[in-house]
Each structure stands twice: as C-alpha cells, then as structure tokens.
C-alpha cells in the first residue's frame, strides 16, 4: 500500500516476554520515527532514524527498548523483558529528511497496541 504499515496491530505479552514491532515506511521516505502513546496521552517521541542511522534515541525509556533499521527501510522496535508500564500504542511515522524538502509532516501508521499482562 501507499501508507505506513505496522505489524502486528495487536500484541498481548506476558510480563518478562520480549516483543518485536515492525514498521514499513512509505517508499522513498528516509526519515522514520517511533512514538509511544499511552492511554489518554499524546504520542511521545522514542527514536528517530535517517536512513539506517539512528540519529536520536533520547526518548527510549530504558535500555530494554531497542530500535533498528539496518537497510534504511523497514524498522523494528524491540522491547525486552516487557513490563506492565510498557502497555501502549506504538506508532511509526515517516517523512522526508532535509529542511528544504521537509514539510515537517509526519505520515503515521495505525500503530501496534501492546498489552502486557
């Protein structure tokens, strides 16, 4: 499709389990973002890639969170040893990279809803 695709849409994990969330950005978009949206809150920035380079990971809440984008396209957000507080919707977004080509607009996927029991 033409939009940002995320999978799985829903994931239930037992506490302590590892999970991996996948994002397929829009073709040609070199910037990719992960956001975390807790219930009743706005999206909170987690990390940012430009191509395969992770330029900003300041929003990752702990070292249990890890993101990669090895070939500059598909990205995976991995959460190790999940905790109940990790329950949230994880949003992926893509956009263009440079100021000159950058409208600033992010194109979002539908999100992956993680529930940790």
In angstroms, the CA 99 to CA 17 distance is 40
Q: Is there binding between residue 105 and another protein (CB under 8 A)?
A: yes
Q: Give Cα separations from 85 to 30, 101, 105 (angstroms).
A: 30, 37, 29
* Cβ closest to another protein, residue 84 vs residue 103: 103
Stretch 11-70 residues interacting with another protein (CB under 8 A)? 31, 33, 35, 40-45, 48, 55-56
In angstroms, the CA 114 to CA 96 distance is 28
Number of residues that bind another protein (CB under 8 A): 28
Smallest distance from another protein to CB 106, Å: 6
Smallest distance from another protein to CB 58, Å: 9
Chain position carrying tokens 């909170």 = 44
Widest pairwise Cα distance in the chain: 45
The one among 81, 102, 115, 117 contacting another protein by CB under 8 A: 102
In angstroms, the CA 96 to CA 52 distance is 14
Binding site for another protein (CB under 8 A): 3-4, 31, 33, 35, 40-45, 48, 55-56, 91, 93, 95, 97, 99, 102-106, 108-111
């Amino acid at each position: 499709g033409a939009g940002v695709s995320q999978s799985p849409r829903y994931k239930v994990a037992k506490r302590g389990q590892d999970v991996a969330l996948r994002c397929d950005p829009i073709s040609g978009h070199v910037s990719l973002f992960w956001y975390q949206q807790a219930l009743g809150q706005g999206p909170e920035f987690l990390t940012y890639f430009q191509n395969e380079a992770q330029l900003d990971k300041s929003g990752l809440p702990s070292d249990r969170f890890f993101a990669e984008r090895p070939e500059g396209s598909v990205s995976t957000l991995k959460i190790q040893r999940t905790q109940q507080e990790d329950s949230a919707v994880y949003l992926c977004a893509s956009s263009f990279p440079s100021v000159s080509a950058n409208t600033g607009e992010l194109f979002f996927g539908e999100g992956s809803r993680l529930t940790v029991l």
